[in-house]
Structure 1
């Protein structure tokens, strides 16, 4: 069974991103799908793993992170968990504010540790990859993309 790829329009519908966001993120090198030269133009198709990357970016932007911080967090996530975009990966992570660097750092989510950070007044932003994958699956099923 071959992997299914999604056009930019489909990727935008599935992830809730705008077409302009997808273009901007490609231009900035954040989520860059392969471009195939077909016909008279160039077609851009996103794999399922790239949909997961888009969904993570959309999530972090929706909770108020700047584009720059969200992009760095996505790169950190790709390094810490290269398989994060594979369906069924139950990993959960959190972004924790680092006062010395004045930036967030990515750590594996541990409830007690998150509470301890919050008790110290340090912001914690969880990212639940299993929830993101479930939402993607629901959208794919609902739109008959599966």
Structure 2
């Protein structure tokens, strides 16, 4: 079975990212798809894995994280769960405030820990990969219908 790739325009439609966002994130090294030189131009194609990364970034930006914090959290997710973009992976994570580091830390979701952090007035931002994969599957189904 071969992997399906998506042009920048298709990727923008599927993920809700603008073409400029995709370019900026490539330039900053956040989500970097392979670029192939063809003829007089360049072709940029995103894999399903990269679509998942983009949706994670969009989610974190939508909950109010800065670009830098969201990009750092994505890198942490890639380290903790290198297979996170696989639709079979159903792990759940949370960003929580780490007092010692004075920074957000990506941890596996534990309900009791989340509640304890909230009780202390510390932020908790859930990252449920099953929801990310569901959202991506819906978007991909919609894009094939068009």
Give the TM-score taking structure 1 as reference length.
0.96
| Correspondence list, 1:1-146, <5 A | 1-144=1-144
> Alignment partner of 1:64: what SS?
coil
Q: Which runs of 5 or more residues in structure 2 are unaligned?
A: none
Shift of 1:101: 2.5
**Deviation per residue, 1:73-108 (Å, 9 max, x gap):** 000000000000011210110000123322100000
Counterpart Cα distance in 2 of 1:124 and 1:115: 9
Counterpart Cα distance in 1 of 2:80 and 2:92: 11
**Moved runs in structure 1, 4+ residues, more than 4 A?**
none
> Alignment partner of 1:144: what SS?
helix
Q: Which runs of 5 or more residues in structure 1 are unaligned?
A: none
Give the TM-score taking structure 2 as reference length.
0.96
